[in-house]
Structure 1
Amino acid sequence: MIGLGIATTVLLAATTSVTPLSNDSFGAFLGSGAEGVDRAELLEHWLGGTEMTVGRTYLPGDLWSNIEGRPEFLAPWAGWRQEKDDRLFVLNVPMLERNEDDLPDHLVGQLLRSGASGSYDQHFRVLGERLVAAGLADAVLVLGWEMNGTTYTHRCAPDPEAWKRYWRRIVTTMRAVPGQDFRFDFAPNRGTDAIEWDRCYPGDDVVDIIGMDTYDQPPGETFDEQISQPYGLQFHVDFAAAHGKPISFPEWGLFRNGDNPEYMRRMLEWIDAVQPVYHSISDYCPHGVWQCVQNPASSEVFRAALSATPPGSGAGGPGRGPRPGEDGDDGAGDPGRGPRPGDG
């Protein structure tokens, strides 16, 4: 990992040219279920043969029975992971059911305290056993992601101390599963949001990776502001270094600032400078670049940086392959993809 002062200096001097990305731990969220696996090959073709080495999905957070990881849900991802040794499977794991039901803070606090006392241990034991049985014992688990925000029931602000105890209990339970080699990724939103995210950090002994979900939206109108803002990109790398942890970007992409090629260029340069364990763009509208054709300028920056062969002449360049939405669809309604949890 490059020291932070160096990384910032490099990026503040960034030009408008697109430099090929050297970090090959690249992934994209392409769909939650089997469709996400099926689309990986098409994305690779669009990138001229660049391999997607990181597959990422979310466990549904509606019911405990889904958070336990149904075998039929895990099977396509297990098949993808086992095809090549260098692949990494990343799974977002909700900490509570009814995870997007807009529950009030007082109820969330009660649920967190119940979890911290062991009421939900059995669900995470089952999940761990099912992951091992499926051949996903080395999965990276993004547990309780974006805990510093307000979107999810598994948020931290209603009771930070209970949240930390509950995280520790989940990790202890899952690490006790025979055959597991899980890594746990603590991944807040960029910025302060509802609570300073270091107040939710559960301890070095129960965290393997310190991630960050970061989209092109306020706070942080420019990329430099996204770097320097309180609890922003710079703080993220500093905090991880202080705790001796590698970093990740489980979710990133465009958002409220629209089709912004400068953001795309700068974010890819940041990834190259700080060398995360993995990064995964959220590839659907409004965040994405392949399944969302409403971001053409950013799409070309992304493709130029990650393509195995530079885009050539003609309609799409060598090895281009089809993109969802090029038959007249805008990419926002691609069947089976569904929204990212929390997008409403």
Structure 2
Amino acid sequence: MARRTTPILVAVLTALITGCVAPGTPAGEDTGLGGVFERRQLFGAFLGSDAEGVRRIPGFEEFLGGVDTEVGHTYLPGEGWTDVEGPDYILDPWAEWQRQNPDDLFVLNVPMADRNEADLPDEEVAELLRRGRAGEFDHHFTLLGERLVERGLGRAVIVPGWEMNGETYSHRCGPDPEAWQGYFRNVVTAMRAVPGQDFRFDFTVNRGTDDVDWTSCYPGDDVVDIIGMDTYDQGPGRTFDDFVEQPLGLREHADFAAARGKPVSFPEWGLFRNGDNPEFIRRMHDWIASQDTVYSTLTDYCPHGVFWCTDNPRSAEVFRELFGS
């Protein structure tokens, strides 16, 4: 199927021509990352972690009226270290997807701890982070890098320790931000040392202050290629303008990245607390288009999505209008 110019790209071009670009690095500017990143805003959806997620992509593209999405996005589980190393049932179907779509972008969220959703106490998390900073877990990430390269996934965007400023995961930053920074640096160093790799690393936070100021977790420009933000239609605040202007919200994300010469991403976005909300879809589309965005992926299971989740028909109609053919 021939690629088509999607409305989000039209919006970027219009913004460049008219000069109507929101704060941050101008949309469409060369990111300096080369390859699939160069002067393009890539779009996709998270539709499932394993082979089922791959199988849903053609239906999602048909839902959009035949638009070819350009991002495949999945997550590694984190129940044990073998999960972090990349199990076959996750990597193999996505490797086949990449072979069939060599120009598309593969994005992989990688936990930085085992028992990653086990609600570990802060003291245990802090000890994990310090052990990671000391290099104890480097070999797990070296093996993951090798497994990715072996499968032809050596150009992946890696998102280690996502949403570290929240409370959900055992790889959270709050219990020891300095140890988290050092651990992230070790993850990147280990994976960059794998022969044949061309990975890019995305530091992705939750919008807002959440449990800790996410800027206190930032590990350094030399180990970060993209600065991401996960954002859903939920508080604090209710309107999209609130989400833009809240402390450590969308505007500060854009400014923080621009000050460091980094492009941005939106690895997770979608509906949440306010039901079927087409205004959020419309405003989020426009915000993504106005920034120096490498990629964005809608989270499409309920209550967040518009395709696999059928609970948001008005938002689905607007989504098709904006992102479809």
Taking the aligned partners of 1:136 and 1:146, their CA distance within structure 2 comes to 23
Taking the aligned partners of 2:208 and 2:186, their CA distance within structure 1 comes to 26
Structure 2 counterpart of 1:255, from 272, 279, 296: 272
Structure 1 counterpart of 2:87, from 70, 76, 81: 70
1:246-284 deviations in whole A, cap 9, x for unaligned? 100000000001111111110011111114100000001
Taking the aligned partners of 1:144 and 1:24, their CA distance within structure 2 comes to 23
User: Which SS does the other structure have where 2:206 is aligned?
Assistant: coil
1:31-72 deviations in whole A, cap 9, x for unaligned? 010000000001111111101110000001111001100234
Contact 1:71 1:130 in 2 (8 A): no
Structure 1 residue 7 corresponds to structure 2 residue 47:
no
Percentage of pairs with the same residue? 61
Taking the aligned partners of 2:232 and 2:269, their CA distance within structure 1 comes to 5
Taking the aligned partners of 2:314 and 2:40, their CA distance within structure 1 comes to 22
User: Which SS does the other structure have where 1:250 is aligned?
Assistant: strand
Choose 1 or 2 for highest CA Rg: 1
Aligned AA (2:135): G
Aligned to 1:192: 209
Aligned to 1:277: 294
Aligned AA (1:229): Q
Taking the aligned partners of 1:138 and 1:53, their CA distance within structure 2 comes to 14
Taking the aligned partners of 1:23 and 1:176, their CA distance within structure 2 comes to 28
Structure 1 residue 108 corresponds to structure 2 residue 125:
yes
Structure 1 counterpart of 2:46, from 29, 39, 42: 29
Aligned AA (2:310): V
Aligned to 1:45: 62
Structure 2 counterpart of 1:286, from 286, 289, 303: 303
Taking the aligned partners of 2:290 and 2:40, their CA distance within structure 1 comes to 9
Output the TM-score relative to the length of structure 2.
0.88
Aligned AA (2:297): S
After superposing the two structures, state which structure 1 stretch, 82-91 or 146-155, moved more. Answer: 82-91
Q: Give ranges in structure 1 of 5+ residues lacking alignment.
A: 9-21, 309-344
Aligned to 2:196: 179
Taking the aligned partners of 1:261 and 1:275, their CA distance within structure 2 comes to 23
Taking the aligned partners of 2:21 and 2:246, their CA distance within structure 1 comes to 18
How many pairs are equivalent?
296
User: Which SS does the other structure have where 2:294 is aligned?
Assistant: coil
Measure how far apart 1:6 and its partner are. 3.9
Measure how far apart 1:239 and its partner are. 0.3
Show structure 1 runs of 4+ deviating over 2 A. Answer: 1-6
1:117-146 deviations in whole A, cap 9, x for unaligned? 011111001000000001000000011000
Aligned to 1:319: none
Taking the aligned partners of 1:241 and 1:62, their CA distance within structure 2 comes to 36
Contact 2:41 2:294 in 1 (8 A): no
Taking the aligned partners of 1:226 and 1:23, their CA distance within structure 2 comes to 25
User: Which SS does the other structure have where 2:212 is aligned?
Assistant: coil
After superposing the two structures, state which structure 1 stretch, 224-233 or 73-82, moved more. Answer: 73-82
